[in-house]
Amino acid sequence: MSLRIGLNATCFTERPSGANQRFRHLLGALIHLRPDWHFIIYEPRDVRVAAWFAPCPNVEARVTPLPAEGRIARLAAGLGYWRRALRADRLDLFESFHLPAVIAPDCPTLLTIHDLRPVRPDAPRAMRLIAAPVLHHALKRSRLTLAVSDRVAEELRAFHPGARARRLYNGVRPEDFAHPGEAACTAARARWALPGRFVLSVGHLEPRKNFGQAIDAINVLRAQGRDVPLVVVGNPGGAEEALQAAIARHRLGASVRLLSGVSGDDLRAMYHLADLLLFPSTYEGFGIPLVEAMAAGLPVAASDTPVFRELAGEAARFFALGDPAGTAAAIAALWDNPAERAALAEAGRGRLARHDFTVLAEELAAIYREVTGR
pLDDT at 1: 66
- Parallel/antiparallel/unpaired status of strands 165-167 and 144-147: parallel
In the 8-state DSSP scheme, what is residue 177? Answer: G
CA-closest candidate to residue 95, choices 372, 374, 338:
372
Rg (CA), the chain: 22
pLDDT in tens, 242-272: 999 999 999 999 999 999 999 999 999 999 9
Average pLDDT in the 34-62 region?
A: 96
Distance of CA 27 to the CA centre of its chain: 15
Q: Which residues contact 338 (CB under 8 A, 6 or more apart)?
A: none
Answer for the pair 356, 251: CB distance below 8 angstroms, yes or no.
Answer: no
3-state secondary structure at position 259? strand
Q: What's the Cα-to-Cα distance from 43 to each of 10, 24, 111, 142, 157, rounded to whole Å?
A: 5, 13, 17, 21, 30
pLDDT at 75: 87
pLDDT in tens, 172-205: 999 999 999 999 999 999 999 999 999 999 999 9
pLDDT at 130: 94
pLDDT at 337: 96
3-state secondary structure at position 10? coil
**pLDDT over 90 (residue 70):** no
Name beta bridge partners: 36. none
3-state secondary structure at position 181? coil
**pLDDT over 90 (residue 41):** yes
Structure-derived torsion over alpha carbons of residues 208, 213, 218, 224, reported in degrees to the nearest 10: -170
Q: Which residues contact 34 (CB under 8 A, 6 or more apart)?
A: 3, 58, 365
d(CA 214, CA 247): 11
Peptide bond before residue 100 is cis, with ω within 30 degrees of 0:
yes
pLDDT at 374: 82
d(CA 214, CA 182): 29
Q: Which residues contact 78 (CB under 8 A, 6 or more apart)?
A: 10, 64, 65, 66, 102
pLDDT at 178: 95
3-state secondary structure at position 308? helix
Q: Which residues contact 97 (CB under 8 A, 6 or more apart)?
A: 7, 8, 9, 11, 12, 19, 23, 111, 112
pLDDT in tens, 306-334: 999 999 999 999 999 999 999 999 999 99
3-state secondary structure at position 113? strand
d(CA 13, CA 47): 6
pLDDT in tens, 279-303: 999 999 999 999 999 999 999 999 9
d(CA 100, CA 98): 6
Residue 78 half-sphere exposure, CB side, CA atoms within 13 Å? 26
pLDDT in tens, 206-243: 999 999 999 999 999 999 999 999 999 999 999 999 99
Answer for the pair 307, 285: CB distance below 8 angstroms, yes or no.
Answer: yes
Count helices and strands in the chain by DSSP H and E runs:
15, 13
pLDDT in tens, 98-115: 999 999 999 999 999 999
Phi, psi (deg, nearest 5) at residue 62: -120, 110
Q: What's the Cα-to-Cα distance from 349 to each of 294, 307, 338, 352, 362, rounded to whole Å?
A: 5, 18, 17, 5, 21
Answer for the pair 108, 147: CB distance below 8 angstroms, yes or no.
Answer: no
Name beta bridge partners: 60. 40
pLDDT in tens, 343-370: 999 999 999 999 999 999 999 999 999 9
pLDDT at 71: 83
d(CA 97, CA 113): 7
pLDDT at 16: 81
d(CA 325, CA 40): 52
